[in-house]
Structure 1
């Protein structure tokens, strides 16, 4: 059984003069504005890299909670942060690196076991795998 969730983006205009909105199926984000200025100039609003980081940090924290619990350690607290780097590459940009930082409080867990669980979780949480996933495309051009 596949669980399907969706998000959508709407864009109007050119790259610098245009603007868009991003919404999620759950409406936890509804018509959240984004644009060139929120992505490249630090203006208020969101951007794709920030949303990708939020998805990874959230998924990782949940997956690490599961891994810890399966190993007999219930975490008191897990704080995960994903820092997504958008780098200039040729004529465009690409995400070349994501720094994942995690701070955990879990009783009776030694450093070696913690690092093993943390690294295994990094490789296996669903959003980590997303970044290695095959992406299919269905495209349609409406007549002018």
Structure 2
């Protein structure tokens, strides 16, 4: 069993306020975020959707690599991108789609087995399970030839 933590400090009011995100590992330490980095093009900070995408991509990538190991295939390289879409809904917002894009080099695997393992990993990854309320989680998986 494992438990990880993160914390946020917010100062100021609404759109003018600024937050700082920290993780227990200090991977993020007082990292800024606010209205501009979430809804505008301010690249000086992060936002919850970007962090959620990073977490989902990381979790899925590990689940895929572990599933390949279990099936007898060693992953050489795995690259995953997660695009998280935030849309207005009523007076608030909703994450209505997460699109995962996987590119991997897995020597000796055929396309059908590759797709089967990728889909299984998408369903089994703890973050995918935690995000089950997201209406659409897609996966585009590409098997690359060994480099």
Fold shared, TM-score > 0.5 on shorter chain: yes
Indicate whether 1:25 and 2:37 are aligned.
no
Give the TM-score normalised by the residue count of structure 1: 0.89
- Using the alignment, how far apart are the partners of 2:8 and 2:130 within structure 1? 19
- Using the alignment, how far apart are the partners of 1:42 and 1:99 within structure 2? 21
Q: String of CA shifts for 1:6-35, please: whole Å, max 9, x gaps.
A: 011111122211111000011110000000
Number of positions where the alignment pairs a residue of Structure 1 with one of Structure 2: 132
Number of the residue aligned with 2:142:
none
More contact order relative to length (CA 8 Å, sep ≥ 6)? 2
Higher gyration radius (CA): 1
Indicate whether 1:7 and 2:6 are aligned.
yes
Q: String of CA shifts for 1:83-111, please: whole Å, max 9, x gaps.
A: 00011111111101000000011111111
- Using the alignment, how far apart are the partners of 1:126 and 1:34 within structure 2? 26
Number of the residue aligned with 2:136:
none
Deviation at 1:127, TM superposition (A): 1.1
Deviation at 1:132, TM superposition (A): 3.1
Secondary structure of the structure 2 residue equivalent to 1:107: coil
Structure 1 residue runs of 4 or more that deviate by more than 6 Å after TM superposition: none
Secondary structure of the structure 1 residue equivalent to 2:14: coil
Secondary structure of the structure 1 residue equivalent to 2:15: coil
Number of the residue aligned with 1:80:
80
Number of the residue aligned with 1:68:
68
The residue correspondences of 1:29-40 to structure 2 (distance < 5 A) are 29-40=28-39
- Using the alignment, how far apart are the partners of 1:8 and 1:128 within structure 2? 22
Give the TM-score normalised by the residue count of structure 2: 0.87
Secondary structure of the structure 2 residue equivalent to 1:23: strand
Q: String of CA shifts for 1:59-87, please: whole Å, max 9, x gaps.
A: 11111000001111101110011000011
- Using the alignment, how far apart are the partners of 1:129 and 1:7 within structure 2? 20
- Using the alignment, how far apart are the partners of 2:94 and 2:126 within structure 1? 21
The RMSD of aligned alpha carbons is 1.0
